[in-house]
Structure 1
Amino acid sequence: MSITIHYAFLPHTDAQAALGFYRDILGFEVRQDVGYENMRWITVGPPDQPGTSIVLHPPAVDPGVTEAERATVMELIAKGAYTAITLATDDLDGLFARLEAAGADVVQEPIDQDYGVRDCAFRDPSGNLIRINQLT
């Protein structure tokens, strides 16, 4: 039996900005773009990994979420403290340069961490923390 990661979920607060980051800067392909009322769920992923996707979703839209809870979630997203994801690349410095040149919000430049990983970090347009590891 094998287990893979099929979907990871990240909230977005602006669908067009999310597309600009994940599709246009990172180079992910758009696999689905589903709208309902004034909301959009966008599924993206690396072109060479069709079985692994990120679903960019409207935050706190579940019917059971109160307005106070929704406001708390939005505050946490705005602070960049709500969620994160770690990506990996075989060219960390090249990807960092591409993201920085595109105006992405740099949190940490590439660095060799004490725990043995070389990585960098950005925030996506919604504030989600995106860490990127160098593949060894």
Structure 2
Amino acid sequence: MSFLFPLATLTHHFFGLHLSIYSGLETFFCAKWTKFLEQMISLAQRPFDLGDANIAKVSAPVLIIAGDNDGLNKIELAKTYQLLGGAVAGDFGQMPKSQLAIIPGQSHVSVMNQTKTILGFLNDFVK
């Protein structure tokens, strides 16, 4: 019985300390998260254009993955893919380094749950 009291006291102090630290971290991260969300919403309301010339300068292979119902403009995706060297007749020449994958029946969020499909694209892309 004598060891239970110190154990209970230590547990109370240990968790009391952690609750105090957690409360401080929670306040800190809530403020940071709120500011982050406000910035993201603000950025989402303004059109973003990296610029065709800048996209065309990208020399590294790029894998673009999108859902067919994700709200992204597929004409812009195809245009970006072309600027990256894609959309060529691969049967008559060299295949492009970049790839475009549009996953059917997927939204912007649900496509992230298609891990097997995405992993397949990634494995093929990095070979």
TM-score, normalized by the shorter chain, greater than 0.5: no
The answer to which structure has the higher helix fraction is 2
TM-score range, shorter chain: under 0.3
The answer to which structure has the higher strand fraction is 1
Report the TM-score when normalising by structure 2. Answer: 0.24
